[in-house]
Structure 1
């Protein structure tokens, strides 16, 4: 396994990661951000990666509608995904992460059909470029977040992977450890984000290791299912910012390195 962090797509991020002793960066080019804007800075990012030795471990796109009301694929978002997969190829990034929105006026079965049609196109495009495709288990405009969807969609598409974040399962009342044992063999990328629930409600997303997630068992299961991909630290708290946030990131880096049996 490799340890990295989500950061802004700029050259300075590679220096930041190198200073923390991290192996890769993850870039999230989310809804509202033109994929072409990211593509324009790929040469600069590629040069920074070569200079620092810090790789790009994942590129993802959260939030946009990819499926129209009639169940058809939205061409603009399909092309955005293609653009980001091209960027993955150029940067040597192994994984592109995305989701699929749910159309309430259509049945669950019809939504699954539309999602499969979308991912079939991405899988074919990615395969030609050496890039694997994963769905995210975040609920941000995507319904592919649990075993019910995975059985149908990933069961039908054996090459489709999963980007897993235990905090999303915890906040939704799901058994994240059971999901890992059942589906960890399909994980292509993992987010490391703390989560605290008090009286049944989300309180904060503090640094991993200062939260309620059973990270020891979490890592044991990843070892048990043979996971060898990236562990991407995701600073996500409104409390842990500025100097406190920097200290929190460094704490998580040290904490995860111990769980990865490093020094």
Structure 2
């Protein structure tokens, strides 16, 4: 396993990763960001990879509409194929995505369309050496739980999962059970804290300063022989600025203990 952090496509992100002795930076080219800006900066990013000896562990896109009641949204499919191409050019082996649910359609119909969409991404990824993984976040995505994985990943044997225990905890599920049952399909993992007080989500503090059992979490990853990336995700409204930097330092120190380096 290797350790990295989510960042922006800037030189500062690579410098921060290098300063923390991390292996990679992850890029989230989400629906609220300019995908063309990212695509136009791949040349600069390649230079930073070489300069700082820090790779790109994952490229992904959260929140977009991929399917509609009339089928696949071709404009979004084209955009994601171009992002997969960019990931390949950056030496990145994992592309992360999801699939929205169309309310007018049945669950079965939604699954059929999701399978069709992911199949096209997998075809594009296979020819470029990039694995496709579905995020378990519910942001405009219904393929975030064991029922959906049983249908969709059960059919698409090479489709992976991007796993984050906080999403499972906030949804009231057993993250260790999900990891045991589906960990063989994990292609990428987020390291993000989660804090629930009186049954309500309070904050996403740095991993290690939250309620996740990170020792058991890592033990299950070892048990399923996971060898992919562990990507730190700073996601708190409290831990920002200098406090946020201290939180990242804390999480890095904790995770390094589990990696036996």
Q: Per-residue deviation at 1:34?
A: 3.3
**Cα offsets for 1:161-181 (capped at 9, x unmatched):** 000000000000011000000
Q: Per-residue deviation at 1:198?
A: 0.7
Quote the residue 1:81 is aligned against: 80
Q: In structure 2, what is the Cα distance between the partners aligned to 1:193 and 1:33?
A: 21
Q: In structure 2, what is the Cα distance between the partners aligned to 1:32 and 1:56?
A: 21
Q: In structure 2, what is the Cα distance between the partners aligned to 1:45 and 1:154?
A: 32
Q: Per-residue deviation at 1:35?
A: 2.1
Quote the residue 2:46 is aligned against: 46
Q: In structure 2, what is the Cα distance between the partners aligned to 1:75 and 1:143?
A: 20
Q: Per-residue deviation at 1:68?
A: 1.2
Quote the residue 2:89 is aligned against: 90
> RMSD of the alignment, in Å?
0.7
Q: In structure 2, what is the Cα distance between the partners aligned to 1:64 and 1:146?
A: 19
**Structure 1 unaligned runs (5+)?**
none
Quote the residue 1:25 is aligned against: 25
Displaced runs of 4+ in structure 1, greater than 4 A?
A: none
Q: Per-residue deviation at 1:98?
A: 0.3
Give the SS at the match of 1:174: coil
Q: In structure 2, what is the Cα distance between the partners aligned to 1:170 and 1:260?
A: 24
Q: In structure 2, what is the Cα distance between the partners aligned to 1:107 and 1:225?
A: 34
Quote the residue 2:16 is aligned against: 16
TM-score norm. by structure 2 comes to 0.99
Contact 1:147/1:179 (<8 A) preserved? yes
TM-score norm. by structure 1 comes to 0.98
1:216 and 2:215 aligned: yes
Q: In structure 2, what is the Cα distance between the partners aligned to 1:131 and 1:2?
A: 17
Q: Per-residue deviation at 1:105?
A: 1.2
Q: In structure 2, what is the Cα distance between the partners aligned to 1:45 and 1:120?
A: 28
Contact 1:9/1:38 (<8 A) preserved? yes
Q: In structure 2, what is the Cα distance between the partners aligned to 1:117 and 1:146?
A: 19
- Matching of residues 165-204 of structure 1 within 5 Å: 165-204=164-203
